[in-house]
């Protein structure tokens, strides 16, 4: 009976570890394509910026808006799969920038002048660039394991001659203290 309880306890401990590693793999697979989508989103916004024709701006904005909305959906799915709070926070930050860029593109579609639409496009470009700047190092960092130092530092080591002599000094002080007490008691 006791063995069954131990087996159940071990299974309960192992299952979350397996689930977490599977979730981490799903997260990596989900977040990797968002980097390319974010780069595409930014490049489409940049292509729309030099135009001064309102019809061309509206057409390019509609295409770019679709890309931005798809990117936001991918990021929302990645937030759910994030393995820890740090990853979740990073993806939510990128999602916030992406949503702000999408909102700017939606406002650019309803603008009546080319200057106002270009101002909204520039605002969307800035938000998309911020999102990409946050996302790129995070996604690149997922593919590389944390670097381990070649040798651990020796600071705080107990093997120095100064530290090794401390017990001897302590014993000597105890002996001297005992001798002084006996001498004072006589």
pLDDT beneath 50, residues of the chain: 2, 5, 7-11, 13-23
For residue 147, the model assigns a pLDDT of: 60
| 8 Å CB contact between 38 and 128 | yes
First to last CA, the chain: 70
- Residue 165: what pLDDT? 80
Structure confidence at residue 1 (pLDDT): 53
Q: What is the pLDDT of residues 52-106, one digit of tens each?
A: 788 888 888 889 999 999 999 999 999 998 888 988 999 999 999 999 999 999 9
Q: State the architecture of 2-144 in CATH terms.
A: Up-down Bundle (1.20)
Contact (Cβ atoms closer than 8 angstroms) between residue 48 and residue 121: yes
The whole-number pLDDT of residue 164 equals 73
Q: Evaluate whether 90 touches 14 at the Cβ level (below 8 Å).
A: no
Predicted confidence at residue 30, as pLDDT, reads 86
Interhelix angle 85-110/2-48, nearest 10 degrees? 30
Q: Answer for the pair 45, 121: CB distance below 8 angstroms, yes or no.
A: yes
pLDDT of 148 reads: 61
**H helical segments located in the chain:** 2-48, 54-81, 85-110, 114-143, 161-164, 166-185
Tell me the domain boundaries of the chain: 2-144
């Amino acid at each position: 009976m006791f063995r069954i309880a131990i087996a159940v306890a071990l299974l309960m401990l192992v299952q979350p570890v397996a689930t977490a590693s599977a979730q981490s793999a799903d997260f990596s697979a989900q977040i990797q394509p968002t980097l390319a989508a974010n780069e595409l989103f930014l490049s489409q916004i940049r292509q729309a910026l030099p135009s001064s024709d309102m019809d061309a701006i509206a057409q390019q904005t509609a295409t770019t808006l679709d890309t931005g909305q798809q990117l936001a959906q991918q990021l929302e799915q990645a937030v759910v799969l994030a393995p820890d709070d740090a990853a979740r926070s990073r993806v939510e930050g990128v999602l916030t920038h992406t949503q702000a860029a999408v909102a700017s593109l939606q406002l650019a579609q309803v603008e009546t002048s080319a200057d106002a639409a270009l101002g909204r496009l520039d605002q969307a470009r800035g938000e998309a660039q911020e999102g990409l700047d946050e996302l790129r190092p995070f996604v690149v960092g997922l593919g590389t394991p944390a670097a381990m130092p070649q040798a651990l530092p020796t600071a705080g080591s107990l093997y120095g001659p100064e530290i090794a002599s401390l017990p001897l000094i302590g014993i000597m002080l105890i002996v001297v203290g005992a001798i002084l007490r006996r001498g004072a008691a006589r």
